[in-house]
Structure 1
Amino acid sequence: MFKKVIIAEDLDVMNLGIQQVLKDLNIVDFQHSKFCDEAFLKIRAAIHQNEPYDLLISDLSFKADHRKAEIVNGDELVQKARELQPNIKIIAYSVEDKSYRIKSLFDNAGIDGFVLKGLNSIEELKKAINIISSSDQKFISPEIASALHEKNNYEIDDFDILILKHLSSGTPQDDIIVILKDLGLKPSSKSAMEKRLSKLKDFFKANNTVHLVSIVKDMGII
């Protein structure tokens, strides 16, 4: 079982619930932070003191306040925590239910568990902690596990990310086509670009290109 845990959660009621779960599991050495920057500093300090945390439990969404934040959301926090301390176990604890965003956390940040906040979240969090503390298994809340394993008609790849990044910076579509051709990337024709964007809009349920860019920015994809 884990001996030392750091909680990143800005809502007091959720934080207290997580703390109670840890106490129920006889984990008494834990700290919490309401800000991602603060949580990251505590993780780094613990490493320097040769007393690293075993587990990070983090929300994904944090409300902004007057402080200037370097790490603005849980997605960035878990990614930076993984880079800083590769062996730390990470559980994302969130109301987020978008399959792409959750999948990216497993694929890119290597999280060990995802618990969906809801009616059964307390028991699921206990189960997640037990599972990942005693094995290399991953834990995903049953409500979203099926969605993650569904085969989509369209998969987002690095090519799509490149297009979305250029769109977000205001690059006209015709100029993006030229950039793709210069990079030797295919497909790079106007019709292929339009088809690609159409599939992306369908995938993210976006009304138009501006809406599409807004969605992927909110999801932390770009």
Structure 2
Amino acid sequence: MFKKILVVEDYDSINVGIVTALSEKYSAEIYNTKYCDDAWLKIQNAHLNSSPFDLIITDLSFEQDYREQKLEGGIDLIEVIKANYPDTKIIVYSIENRYIEINTLIEKLKIDAYISKGRNSINELHHAIEHIQSTPNCYLSPDIEDITTTSTALILSDEDLEIISLLSKGYTQQEISAVFKSKSKTISSTSSIEKRIGKLKLSFEAKNTIHLVSIAKDLGLI
């Protein structure tokens, strides 16, 4: 059972709601903060005092206010935690549902659970906490699991996803080619990019690149 939990969430109502729900069910010490920089300081101090947090529950998006922050969001916080304390359990509790972001968190940052904020999210959070104490596999709430297991997502390569992402930002085929060449991608010529976009439009049954980007956004791929 987790002994010390930190909740990182900038909205008071959600922050307090999570803390209250956890306090009613678990006997752990529960702390909370609205800023990623504060969270990182608490985590460091806890380790220095030989009383580390067992579990971090964090949102991804944090609204900026008068306080300047070095860690601007949940991904920045997770990266620094994993770089320094890789065994720390982390649950993402967020409304974000973009496939690229979720896949990065699961595959590269090795988070332990991803809960989508919604009507049943507190119950899902309890399920996640129970799950990650006994199972190494990442726990996903049902709607997030649908996104990560969709056949469309599975057949897309990292290059495909990056092409769609760059198209959504207004990049031309020539500009995408330049970006890929700077990264020494195997697919980097303008003609190769054009062919790949053509295949993507066929796969998604998109009429044009704008339609392709729109479909990808609807599916949560970007």
Contact 2:10–2:35, Cα closer than 8 Å, also in 1: yes
2:150 paired residue number: 150
Measured at CA, do residues 95 and 184 of structure 1 come closer, stay the same or move farther in structure 2, by a change above 3 Å? closer
Cα RMSD between the aligned structures?
3.4
Contact 2:2–2:28, Cα closer than 8 Å, also in 1: no
- What is the deviation of 1:30? 1.6
Kindly report which structure 2 residues correspond to 1:93-112, keeping only aligned pairs within 5 A, or say none: 93-112=93-112
2:53 paired residue number: 53
- Structure 2: which amino acid aligns with 1:46? A
Query: What's the secondary structure of 2:130's corresponding residue?
Result: helix
CA–CA separation in structure 1 for the residues paired with 2:179 and 2:95: 38
- What is the deviation of 1:42? 1.0
Contact 1:163–1:176, Cα closer than 8 Å, also in 2: no
Cα deviations by residue, 1:136-158 (Å, 9 ceiling, x for unpaired): 23211112212211222652426
Flag structure 2 segments of 5+ consecutive residues without an equivalent. none
Identity of aligned residues (%): 33
Is 155-164 or 93-102 further displaced after alignment?
Answer: 155-164
CA–CA separation in structure 2 for the residues paired with 1:23 and 1:47: 23
Measured at CA, do residues 188 and 94 of structure 1 come closer, stay the same or move farther in structure 2, by a change above 3 Å? closer
2:210 paired residue number: 207
1:129 paired residue number: 129
Is 146-155 or 35-44 further displaced after alignment?
Answer: 146-155
Kindly report which structure 2 residues correspond to 1:26-45, keeping only aligned pairs within 5 A, or say none: 26-45=26-45
CA–CA separation in structure 2 for the residues paired with 1:182 and 1:20: 49
- What is the deviation of 1:73? 1.0
Contact 1:36–1:71, Cα closer than 8 Å, also in 2: yes
Measured at CA, do residues 2 and 31 of structure 1 come closer, stay the same or move farther in structure 2, by a change above 3 Å? same
TM, length-normalised to structure 2: 0.78
2:114 paired residue number: 114
CA–CA separation in structure 1 for the residues paired with 2:97 and 2:160: 24
- What is the deviation of 1:78? 1.3
2:85 paired residue number: 85
CA–CA separation in structure 1 for the residues paired with 2:120 and 2:161: 36
- Structure 2: which amino acid aligns with 1:83? A
- Structure 2: which amino acid aligns with 1:120? N
CA–CA separation in structure 1 for the residues paired with 2:12 and 2:183: 49
Structure 1 residue ranges (4+ consecutive) displaced by more than 6 angstroms after TM superposition: 162-165
1:72 paired residue number: 72
Measured at CA, do residues 175 and 25 of structure 1 come closer, stay the same or move farther in structure 2, by a change above 3 Å? closer
- Structure 2: which amino acid aligns with 1:29? E
Cα deviations by residue, 1:130-180 (Å, 9 ceiling, x for unpaired): 111233232111122122112226524269659978x98x99865764675
Kindly report which structure 2 residues correspond to 1:10-29, keeping only aligned pairs within 5 A, or say none: 10-29=10-29
Flag structure 1 segments of 5+ consecutive residues without an equivalent. none
